Structure 1
Amino acid sequence: MMDAPEPDTPFAAVSAQTTKFGQIYQAYLDKSTPFIVQRWVGTAVLFLVFGLRIIFAQGWYIVAYSLGIYLLNLFLAFISPKFDPALEQDEGMEDGTAGGLPTKEEDEFRPFVRRLPEFKFWYSATKAIAIGFLCTWFEMFDLPVFWPVLVVYWLILFLLTMRRQIQHMIKYRYVPFTVGKRQFRGK
């Protein structure tokens, strides 16, 4: 087992500074949590800058394709329920109870819980776009590829996965989006 570094070693000083910057970074992330619209607008602007970089540089298509696949994966996790109704229904049939979403009026209501929460979705997407943008400044990531094939392949992948996800939503009757809490007003 490694002993803790002496306080006067250079390693300890670097470790202390890294911890300090990590805490400051986390404090800013925590403060940004309630500002959903502003966070997503900032991410959209970053994505637009990334897209313009790809278009004007006429390269790094494989980086854009990889980013597209990763963002699609994040989006699917965002609109998927944390607990799969198909698995719960199978388990419920084995023990005689109806698992999953309520099917009768006397069944208990359970709200939709995402597999990937909104903040983690935003944070992961923003980091991925920033890393993708950074990769566009290095020649080693500019692999020669025929970009229309990547676009067509990504569109086919998107359509097939969304079709499967929408069929799953229809079969198990859940909607991953809410428009907010209803507010009742007096006359």
Structure 2
Amino acid sequence: MQIYQSWLDKSTPFSAFRWAATLLLTAIYMIRVYILQGWYIVTYALGIYHLNLFIAFLSPKVDPSLLDDPDEGPALPTKQNEEFRPFIRRLPEFKFWHSATKGIVIAMICTFFDAFDVPVFWPILVMYFIMLFCITMKRQIKHMIKYRYLPFTHGKRTYRGKEDTAKTFAS
């Protein structure tokens, strides 16, 4: 367990490589499901799980719709002149990646057991997932617009002054 935690700790700063490995693992899983022509229920459950993780990743830690008393907790700014407060996610990026990767590994393991290969008409599952995704994202986007938060900011804004055009002399 300590070795696993050590590898997780070492991978923390390399988010692009972590996500690339997860996308590669997803591609391997999808190829396996396509070649085997089965395990559609497992794939559907994995998609629902990933959708749930993504919604938690997009949501603020403290939901502004649940705050009745403004002194109860941190609130998102609603006016231009209010103090900037950074967006704090309900599910941080590292935990999102870790949970998504664990879900793919568990789904991959499930494809080795015939008990999880329940026969279904897969186009119905695809259509239902697309419909569920659209409805869920519409609700999330409306929530983001109503409470004026954007979950994809990249740190504090920096402002530049006039560029220094003076030449330096080498001595």
Class of the TM-score when normalised by the shorter of the 2 chains: 0.7 to 0.9
How many angstroms does 1:137 deviate by? Answer: 1.2
Distance in 2 of aligned mates of 1:105 and 1:41? 38
Does structure 2 conserve the Cα–Cα contact (< 8 Å) formed by 1:86 and 1:100? no
Does structure 2 conserve the Cα–Cα contact (< 8 Å) formed by 1:85 and 1:101? yes
Deviations 1:40-66 (A, max 9, x none): 000000001011111111000000000
Task: Say which SS state the counterpart of residue 116 (structure 1) adopts.
Answer: coil
1:83 to 2:62 alignment: yes
Q: How many residues align?
A: 161
Taking a change above 3 Å as real, the CA distance of residues 148 and 105 of structure 1, as seen in their structure-2 partners, is closer
CA RMSD of aligned residues (A): 1.9
Distance in 1 of aligned mates of 2:84 and 2:156? 16
Q: Calculate the TM-score normalised by the size of structure 1.
A: 0.80
Distance in 2 of aligned mates of 1:128 and 1:37? 19
Which of 54, 64, 72 is the aligned partner of 2:43? 64
Which of 65, 89, 109 is the aligned partner of 1:134? 109
Which of 107, 116, 139 is the aligned partner of 2:91? 116
What letter matches 2:97 in structure 1?
W
Does structure 2 conserve the Cα–Cα contact (< 8 Å) formed by 1:80 and 1:115? yes
Say which structure is richer in helix. Answer: 1
Structure 2 unaligned regions, length at least 5: 164-171
Which of 133, 138, 143 is the aligned partner of 2:118? 143
State, as a whole percentage, how many aligned pairs show the same letter. Answer: 61
Q: Calculate the TM-score normalised by the size of structure 2.
A: 0.87
Which of 159, 163, 167 is the aligned partner of 2:142? 167
Deviations 1:133-177 (A, max 9, x none): 111111111001110110011111100000000000000000001
